[in-house]
Structure 1
Amino acid sequence: MAEKIKKFFQKKKADAKFKLAGPGHRLSESSISSQSVVRREEPAVKRSGLSEESKVAAEAALARLSQKRDNPAFNTSLAAIRAQVKRELESETANSKGSNEPLQVEKKIEIEKEVPGNFAASGVYFKCPLISNDILSRDEWKRNIKTFLYEQLEEERGLTACLIIQSCNNNREKIDTCVETLCKYLENIVTYPEEEKYQKIRMSNRAFTDRVQPIEGAMELLLAAGFAQQRLFNNEGVEEDFLVFIKDNVPSVESLVTLIDALRSAEPIQLELDRNLQVLLPSQAANKVQLPPSFYALTPEEIKREQQLRAEAIERSQMLRTKAMREKDELREMRKYKFAIIRIRFPDGILLQGTFSVYERYLDIHDFLRENLEHSDLPFVLTTPTGQKLNLDENSNKTLIDLRLVPTSVLNFAWHSSVAEEINNSPNKDVYLKPEIMVLVQEI
């Protein structure tokens, strides 16, 4: 992104990060309670085992496990939650013989609106720290980003127009074509400043009407580059609309070079997927099993087509098929989804739930869990419902689709064998999530 664009948003970005940092803390306060939960962006690191430093950190965390909590009110609430979980698990064992089946998604995709209470999540939500700390749906963010950018036009029309082109249009191919056409207009003026033919754009010209005019922000860019709309006579003597470059409208012809650079280097304002973190009791997890429509990568027309494909699938299921054929169908089925629900079940029955893109990596799940663990420096293991242990060294860069965790999956949590025995012998062996996360457990 061009340097001026970076400076333009630098202050707003810094303000957003400052707000996300949360309230300050005294140096004497517990380091555990003030740990940052900001998402880590560093690349995956190969781990071959516990280093000496990791062992020291693990020993320190284990020592803390033996200490009593300072907040008795939370202990009381935690005891109530554990008691409720125990009752539910006993009931579940009696009714279903302790079934540990993963979270199920109803096979049939309903076009009609489902009862929201049955949804595993109310929807898919995003953050945009560049603009604000709000958590909104994608459509709401599109409107907010558009409003935000148009508010900046008066301060810096040219550079803001570049961002409008990138952020307020959907077709990437048409955006790229428009950018190249606009750059060609401006490059011609820079290269041939005295050539009058390069200083006029006929608005009825097919290249302009097809490549430039339909793209939001393109006209704002041309106005910022010194063009003004005028009625002129064409070569046939007919009066029509032209965009005419007026040198006095810009500081210098050379300033167009900065605008060309901004056009080519600007990127759309990015949204960050919000995890929509939930802490669930077993009964709540059992009731919330369906995915909302926003999780599907399907239009209503595609849903109808999908129903037809399901009928064909029933016919195919009666035929002998190879493993490769079954895997191909399985991948095609998973690609219907844009997002996935991942639930992590702890030994005490509590489930931690998060929303992920189907193309995120296992490392993202690992980091999400570590950010919410009370003892995040202790090693742990996640196991799929089929019994596969997810190893960070082998699976960190595999996507959720690669690991067959789409559209939903329940992963079972356990402490790593190197610390499991010592944890099981500690007084607070059943402490898993941070207190501020446990208070999110939905009402019993």
Structure 2
Amino acid sequence: RGGGDDQAMIDRMHALMGTLEGADEGMLTSALTLIVKICTAIQQQPAAPKVRSIKRRGAAFQKVEALPPLIDLLACAGFQFTSDADGESVVLPQGASLYILSELKGLCDSHLRRVAPQAAAAAPAAPAAMDRGTRVFVRVEGGVDPARIEVPDSFFEFTGADLKAAQAQAPGSGQLMTKTMRESLKPKYKYCLLRVRFTDGLILQGLFRAGERAEAVKRWVDSCINTPDRIYHLSTQPPVRKVTDAASLPKSLAELGLAPATLLNFFWQDGVSEGAGFIRRDLAATASPLTAAALPQPEAGPARPPSRGGAEA
């Protein structure tokens, strides 16, 4: 399905949500909360059939059944309504767009914030969503090396304590550095810029907080490629180290040594690379030549340590 078809479905979904104005608040809140849970489960385990199939006659799903526009909403997002010996089910096929699924989840979340402001206010504050600044590049022969990434000062966090320690070790201070002081001088990263290189020559770029887990990177890549259900891996430059294996996914990007910037290589687990392009067609259509200026500026921040050079992945 092309980008235009996706947008038509998204527009239809917005229209359907508009028809729910005036619906019973408690019923709508319960139904939307369930849809958000279903979407989240699929995003976290896109290849697991069990999270893609929901019993239509189950007590939980009856909350959705009670509001017919929500059934149409699920259909717009690619869900299919099936019937077999086990009963009726709502199923999201493996080939359905996870991009549309993400839009569905965001739409329901947004509506929940409007219909249940008290519940939202009582919930623990979640970190603000990170704008990935997703971009697609194509490397020009003789152009910028995608592995050489000079990140802006705002990627670094340098505290007053760091400055004092730096002054203490300045030439002529006569003070020896303790282990604690040496540790305090290590750069602290707020952000992590990641580039994912595909074998078809395209490069995907996104911005993360250094404390985010590798799981967030996988979800981002899933949302950007054509076949997220197919098993793939992301690995660092030699020495090669997978950052999408079970042991790495729960770790932060800082823990994995990916901050402040890293180039990762994308490869399918089965080793087969033939067929359509990796990146979604609508995203691939925005590809531009990779230049030294192709970096995000997340925010203004304190200067990095003077001794720190550019980050090279």
Q: TM-score, normalised by structure 1?
A: 0.36
Higher helix share: 1
Structure whose CA Rg is larger:
1
Q: TM-score, normalised by structure 2?
A: 0.48
